[in-house]
Amino acid sequence: MQLTIFNGSPRGKKSNSSIIIEHFIKGCEEAGKVDYKVHIVKQLKKAEDLHKIYKTSEVVLVVFPLYVDSMPAMMKEFFEWLEPFVGKKGLPKLGFIIHSGFGEAIHSFFLRDYLDKIGPEISSEYLGTMIKPSTEGMAIQTSGMVKKKMRTIRDLAAAFIQSGKFDPVIMEKSAKPIKYNAFAKVIIRLIKGLGFLDFYWNYLLKKNGAKDMHDARPYA
Ligand SMILES: Cc1cc2nc3c(=O)[nH]c(=O)nc-3n(C[C@H](O)[C@H](O)[C@H](O)COP(=O)(O)O)c2cc1C
């Protein structure tokens, strides 16, 4: 199988999308042989760059993060660039993995609805959209923690190599929890009260020399 993967993170190669792609490929290789190529969306300069890749692909997987309850702006442009393919013959199969910083899958439901609508219009077969919550901070987590979190990604890939489909049971398992239950909310409040919830964001602010600007309101 020839697989074309697009990484739609504005962070490019150094992103959580890259980690997800890495695990998807591992899952494919656990199940069989796959010939793949990864493209970084932010490196595509014009619509023709995308058209050339898209029309010669057999299967396309697009991985990108949730941004402000929707998609990064460059992904909107990516879909606009694909408009000439709507309803055309000889298109690739197409599937998506969308992921979010927040831990509840419900945040990604509107974006999945959008992809469920346009996916069939720009493909020969729409494989579906997998939601993966809680992906922020993987870069500072242990490899064991990341491997556990990425289990459903590898399972989806392995099942895909065997059946040519995205397994709906694995996709449902990945999109959990839909919302936190009362117990989880108590634990989160506790962690927040102890100041641990802000740990990663404070780390990023410090790393970017922006610790003293965390209250800045440039558009206010
Ligand atoms: C500008 C911006 C907006 C974001 N908006 C959301 C959001 O609305 N909901 C959410 O759950 N996560 C949001 N996130 C978190 C990202 O989805 C999350 O960090 C993801 O793992 C980033 O993936 P990447 O490293 O592949 O870009 C946002 C992140 C950024 C930088």
Give the pLDDT confidence of 177-220 residue by residue, as tens digits: 999 999 999 999 999 898 888 888 888 899 999 999 988 887 77
Pocket flag, ligand 1, residue 65 (CB < 6 Å): yes
Question: Could you tell me if 37 and 92 are in contact, meaning their C-beta atoms sit under 8 angstroms apart?
Answer: no
Q: What are the DSSP calls for 122-181, one per residue?
A: GSSEEEEEEEE---TTGGGS-HHHHHHHTHHHHHHHHHHHHHSS--HHHHHHHS--SS--
CA 73 to ligand 1 centroid distance, Å: 12
Q: According to CATH, where is 3.40.50.360 located in the chain? A: 2-178
Residue owning the nearest CA to atom 17 of ligand 1: 100
Phi, psi of 147 (to 5 degrees): -60, -40
Residue 127 burial (C-beta neighbours within 10 Å; 0-12, 13-18, 19+): buried
pLDDT at 137 over 80: yes
Q: Given ligand 1 and candidates 7, 68, 219, which is best to mutate, with the most ligand atoms within 8 Å of its CB?
A: 68
Question: Which residues is 35 bridged to in the sheet?
Answer: 2
Q: Is 2-178 assigned to CATH 1.10.3080.10?
A: no
In the predicted model, what is the mean pLDDT of residues 111-122?
98
**What Cα–Cα distance (Å) separates residue 204 from each residue in 18, 105, 115, 180?**
19, 24, 31, 25
Question: Could you tell me if 159 and 170 are in contact, meaning their C-beta atoms sit under 8 angstroms apart?
Answer: yes
Helices 73-81 and 47-55 sit at what angle, rounded to 10 degrees? 60
Quote the tokens at residue 25.
């490929």
Residue 70 alpha carbon, nearest atom of ligand 1: 8
Quote the tokens at residue 207.
């790393």
The pTM is what? 0.94
Q: In which region does residue 215 sit, left (phi positive, over 0), alpha (psi from -120 to 50) or beta (all else)? A: alpha
Q: For position 217, what pLDDT does the model report?
A: 86
Q: Residue ranges of the alpha helices (H) in the chain?
A: 16-31, 47-55, 73-81, 109-118, 143-149, 151-163, 168-174, 182-193, 199-207
